[in-house]
Amino acid sequence: MIDAQSVLFLFTAFTTVKLEMQKLSDGSEHIAKAKGQTCFQLLEVQRKVSALESDSCMLIQSLELMQQERAGLSAKLLEQSAFYTKVAEELNAKFQDQLEHFHSHRCTIGQRKHSMGQGNEKVKRHKLNLRTAITRFNEIRGLNAQIVAENAEMKEYIMQMKCRASDFKVGGGRPPVYLYIHLTAHSATEA
């Protein structure tokens, strides 16, 4: 026969077991929610990593295109610089020849004053040639200065591209992707 004290003990034990089962049920719900939140955070991290990898690929392609463009521009500038240097040297040589020719004929023209009509024509022609040569020489000098300025600008541009490329290769101070994933996963498990 069961006495009242035993019934009370069984009822208390039953109530305690029921409360413990409720706590376990609440705990498992909390664990399931935490697991779902962790999975969501992990998916979010994976999405961000995928986006970063995509951005990285695009940046690498852009960098390669910039390097190709830089190489092409450098070659073009070197070619132009060589061409203009050659033209400047040729014009300078022609100018010097014409100047020497003018000086050598100036003396003979002064001695031939008796044939004024013919001498004046030669003097006029030589003066015209001299003016033309001086004008050409000044034009070449201007072109040469322009090429030197363009070369300086291109060298500066190339140096900027090299700096950007080296900054990109170094990583710009960002932690590696695997470190970011590890830290994010670690902070998610602590929460």
Q: What is the per-residue pLDDT across 133-161, written as a single tens digit (0 to 9) for each?
A: 788 888 888 887 888 888 788 878 778 77
In this predicted structure, the answer to whether residue 116 has a pLDDT above a threshold of 80 is no
Token duo for residue 20: 């413990």
Distance of alpha carbon 164 from alpha carbon 66, whole angstroms? 10
Phi, psi at 174, each rounded to 5°? -80, 145
Residue given tokens 């695997």 in the structure block: 178
**Burial group, residue 165, by CB count within 10 angstroms (0-12, 13-18, 19+):** middle
Q: Residue 21 has which token pair? A: 């089962």
The number of folded domains in the chain is 1
**HEC profile of 118-133:** HHHHHHHHHHHHHHHH
- Between residues 107 and 63, which one has the greater pLDDT? 63
Enclosing domain of residue 82: 4-190
SS3 189: helix
Q: What is the pTM of this model?
A: 0.40
The CATH number that applies at residue 186 is 1.10.287
Count, in order, helices (H) and strands (E) of the chain. Answer: 3, 0
- How high is the pLDDT of residue 110? 56
